[in-house]
Amino acid sequence: MSFHTRLLSQTNDARMGLLGTPIIQGCLRGEVSLPSYLAFLREAYYHVRHTVPLLHACKAALQERNLWLQGPLDEYIEEEQGHDEWILDDIRACGGDADAVRKGSSGHATEVMVAYAYDTIARRNPLGFFGMVHVLEGTSVSLALMAADQIQKPLQLPDAAFSYLRSHGTLDQEHTAHFALLMDQIEDPQDQNDIVHAARAFFRLYGDVFRSLPLPNADARTGAATAAGATA
């Protein structure tokens, strides 16, 4: 069994835990709202803006046996430049306040996920960062394009509000194939185990980010309560 195949197999239950979060399942059923989508974009911005710094940190921390990964990491760095700005553009296209997001701070779940990524690189094994790549890019391929359609139609948002989801979903189809080839070149058992360990952790942490987002039905109840209070 190749390492990438083992990675998929040994993280599948954790992946299903992420995909089973209420907001993802609701989105796939067409249960969406603008506040929920804006909250997703906000938290996406706060972790995506760390992608390039994390890649640089991973590259700088590579052990001698893994210096061959410097080239692939440089390619990732080049391809990931500016993706956080895509998200701010999407927020603007939705009528949100992109400047406030840029100046603001993430929710707790996103902060913890980002902190875990830096800690994994600095304290455990820099290759553990590939566990985060596996989670974020694998999830993008399976969900991003479908979710964009499910969100756009009922909310009647312009195409300009989905540059992150659609572009990332398309790019990550290419990245996933490249990622599989890259993982199959990692032969050290400890490196492999550390990537699996990190991926399982990131599935849980990314799931916590989605669990922190407001559900569309919660938005509706809040709006109804507000309206009732205004007429009372």
* DSSP label at residue 126: G
At 17, which amino acid appears?
A: G
- Which residue intervals of 21-128 are DSSP H helices? 22-28, 34-48, 51-61, 70-80, 83-93, 98-103, 108-119
Count other C-beta atoms under 10 Å from residue 19's C-beta: 15
Q: What is the pLDDT of residues 22-51, one digit of tens each?
A: 999 999 899 999 999 999 999 999 999 999
Q: Give the model's pLDDT for residue 222.
A: 40
Contact residues for 70 (Cβ-Cβ < 8 A; gap 6+): 59, 62
Q: Give the model's pLDDT for residue 224.
A: 35
75/70 Cα distance (integer angstroms): 9
Among 2-16, 34-48, 169-183, 196-210, the least confident range: 169-183
Contact between residue 213 and residue 23 where contact means Cβ atoms under 8 Å apart: yes
First to last CA, the chain: 66
Which is more confident, 170 or 9? 9
**Residue 144: which pLDDT band, with cuts at 50, 70 and 90?**
confident
140/166 Cα distance (integer angstroms): 9
Indicate the Cα dihedral angle 200, 201, 207, 212, nearest 10°. Answer: 170
Q: Is the dihedral of CA 148, 150, 151, 152 positive or negative?
A: positive
Q: Give the model's pLDDT for residue 169.
A: 57
Contact residues for 215 (Cβ-Cβ < 8 A; gap 6+): 22, 23, 26, 31, 36
* DSSP label at residue 30: T
Tokens 């069994």, residue? 1
To which H or E segment does residue 13 belong?
helix 3-19
70/59 Cα distance (integer angstroms): 6
Count other C-beta atoms under 10 Å from residue 71's C-beta: 10
Q: Is the pLDDT of residue 231 over 70?
A: no
**Residue 232: which pLDDT band, with cuts at 50, 70 and 90?**
very low
98/142 Cα distance (integer angstroms): 27
pTM: 0.90
User: Which token pair is 112?
Assistant: 């913890």
Which is more confident, 113 or 176? 113
Domains in the chain with CATH codes = 3-212 (1.20.910.10)
The chain-wide mean pLDDT, for the chain, equals: 90
Which is more confident, 105 or 170? 105
Which is more confident, 174 or 155? 155
**Residue 204: which pLDDT band, with cuts at 50, 70 and 90?**
very high
